Amino acid sequence: MSTPELDTTKDARGPFAWFHTLGRNGKRAFVGAFGGYGLDAYDFQVLPLSLFAITAYFGLTTGEAGLLTTVTLVVSAVGGAVAGILADRIGRVRTLMITVVTYAVFTVLCGFATSYEMLLVFRALQGLGFGGEWAAGAILVAEYCKPRYRGRTVAFIQSSWAVGWGLSVIVYTTVFSFLPQDIAWRVLFWTGALPAVLIFYVRRNVKDAPRVERTLETSPVKGSVKAVFQGELGRTTLFASLLATGVQGGYYTLAGWVPTFLRTERGLSVVGTGGYLALLISGAFTGYVTGGYLTDRLGRKRTFTLFAVLSAILIVLFTTIPAGANGVILLLTFPLGFTTSAIFSGFGSYLAELYPTELRGTGQGFTYNFGRGVGAFFPALVGFLAGGMGVGGAMIFGAVAYGIAVVALLGLPETNGVELR
């Protein structure tokens, strides 16, 4: 018997069949999760975009500047793991709302920081919500999807990161063009209040999938951290955590340091940096969407491997182009954004398929955010090594992270097309 909320009987066709088969409640869940993750990206990116100004304002070393990104990601690992447990215990939608409010409030408070230490604390607390939003939103949508469309559907949720990132660059370019940088970085953080508007939509329109509502009422082991480390799930959790570490270590190296690299080692202005970032973000959005279709066609593991290898190669090329060859860097910017984002497309569907419903939030929240927490040390490593190697030279360690991801895939199964347990 078909489930009306999932709309499994509808034979939709065309490139957006994945959306039409979600059903009414699934489409509302998609909108809520898309908005939540996009605004999550917006609130995260205001720091890398402001880092040059913040460094000058507080007189920071590159190591101290890198620590701002690292502490966000380390604490977000805790937030993501906790949100995963909450998603299994109180539901995906309620957890989604809690995380959005958390990252919005503390992003705004960052703009009021009067010292580096205060900024560090507020940014860390912002990470609690930042880490938790994806864990709740990706699972929420995955549980409404038909198996053959799950990869691309959840990838479109992932693509909202590029939308939020793009919005932050537009606001950054505008604010920093009209205000002194000592004030502009604060204003940029204050615009982080935007996500609060989304709460009204989610609370009124979004519901958990029927399978989740049943599990919340009947399962005795929901939200158990111990359970995801037992038996065969223990092996899965280990290698999935390693995969997430590699992919996110590489990505956050770029996200945290490309704006500073372009300003300091390539001598670009605010507007010039914005132009390069526009290409990077365009590549990212295209990569998220394309990667989603490929993960359904080639399989999860092949897609991860393909883009990990390409990302490592492009990082090396991007950071070793000789001085004065900014035109060549411009040509590499779009494919760099494409490959380093396309690899994320399969995460939401892949991790959801590795765990049963009663442990899906816990397993996905832990593995993805463990990877985020450990991967967070890559930007800090770049910051501390930049003094001797330069920012571009130190960013090579992002390529090493992608190698870790490829190794991790050797211990994981292929799940393309499977029904959720």
- Residue 144 belongs to domain spanning: 23-202+230-411
In a domain, residue 157? The reply is yes
221 domain residue, yes or no: no
* pLDDT at residue 9, as a whole number: 42
Exposure string over 297-309, b if 16+ CB within 10 A, otherwise e: ebbbbbbbbbbbb
Averaged pLDDT, groups of 10, the chain, 421 residues long: 42 69 88 87 87 91 82 84 87 88 90 94 88 81 85 85 86 91 93 82 85 73 80 92 91 71 58 66 86 89 94 80 67 84 86 88 88 78 68 71 92 86 75
Note whether residue 211 is domain-resident.
no
The answer to whether residue 209 sits within a structural domain is no
Per-residue pLDDT, 224: 78
DSSP structural state of residue 268: -
Alpha helices (H) along 298-376: 300-320, 326-342, 347-354, 357-375
To the nearest 10 degrees (0 to 180), the angle between helices 347-354 and 150-178 is 140
Residue with tokens 């223990």: 234
pLDDT for 322 equals 65
By the 8 A CB rule, do 196 and 74 touch? no
Query: Residue 218 domain-assigned?
Result: no
What is the reported pLDDT for 387? 64
CB 150 within 8 A of CB 142: yes
We report the CATH number of the domain holding residue 189 as 1.20.1250.20
Split into its structural domains, the chain has a count of 1
The alpha-helical segments, DSSP class H, found in 376-409 are 377-394, 397-408
The residue assigned the tokens 């029927």 is 210
Is 308 a domain residue?
A: yes
What is the reported pLDDT for 1?
Answer: 34
Amino acid at 107: T
Per the domain annotation, does 369 fall within a domain? yes
pLDDT of residue 7: 45
Length of the chain: 421
Alpha helices in 219-325 (DSSP H): 231-264, 270-297, 300-320
Question: Is residue 385 in a domain?
Answer: yes
Nearest to 367 by CA among 347, 397, 381, 342: 347
